[in-house]
Structure 1
Amino acid sequence: MSTVEFNQMLLNNTDFLKPFAFTLTRDNETAKDLLQETMYRALSNREKYNVGTNVKAWLYTIMRNIFINNYRRKVKQNTIFDSTPNDFFIDYQQATVSNDAESALKMKEIQAAVHQLPDIFKSPFMLYFEGFKYHEIAHVLNEPLGTIKSRIHFARKLLKEQISRN
């Protein structure tokens, strides 16, 4: 078989290989790369093709083997892609010092805002802040559960407005 005939035979079978490549890779660009690599390997191993055998099966086998080898190589590398910026590592060795004065001022501001809440909102919010569950607060204050949830929600909303103004 001449080189021209062999090349024409490969080109005639590329339409059958494209869907198979996409089935293996599930990605259009990767499938194109796989098809190209398969054609390259078939051309470079022309002498291994036995004239008269099924060329489709030969090409499918080459493609499948390339795919499996690439998959195994990727698994072996265990590549993890990290798309997050690595700004954290720039100052990794530097120690940070917390500003206790600033934290104390913020806590005083929050406590003042909580004390300015109307009693109807302050009582359920303080119990919730201390760690009580909604149903426990409803039982202690002898109010319906929905009312307690609503009052805590409005207390948070008022606190957020109060703190953002200051």
Structure 2
Amino acid sequence: MTIANFGQLFQNHTPNLQAFALQLTRDKNDAEDLFQDTVYKAMRYRHLYQPKTNLQAWLMTIMRNTFINEWRKRKRKQQAAELQIPGVTLTQTSATRNDGESKVTMQELMKSMDQLEEGLSKPFLMAFRGYKYEEIASEMDLPLGTIKSRIHQARKLLKTSIKRHYQTKNLVDILN
């Protein structure tokens, strides 16, 4: 089924989906986000839809599952934040975040990533951006095991590169 055909079928169910999203979230902005996530997933996985079946039910199932998964993720984060283990800080509550340190680290990480071959950097970047291994494998048309292996190799090479960078940097600081 083409994107255009699927899009036309999808549009017929937009008002019902938006109402369902609002019913689930009880917040207009969250409902819009949920609707957009549903549109994305429906378009991405349209090949899984069986023609001549109930499209609205399929779309609402995607929406409901997306909502539940997001709710569970938020719940886990909340529970982790409520755990108070002596000497371990899971979240920063009163401290100010130092963006400079993370920015420098990201710049160094990106320099190291530029040195990786595309076969390693692309799956690593996709995983870093939140894609699931299965989605990366599908996108790159490679077996799941190959994707996992490449991401592992990229992590290992990046770790070594950053470690080497800091060791060299420390030696330069000592010599100066």
- Relative to the length of structure 1, the TM-score reads 0.47
Give the greater-gyration-radius structure (CA).
Answer: 1
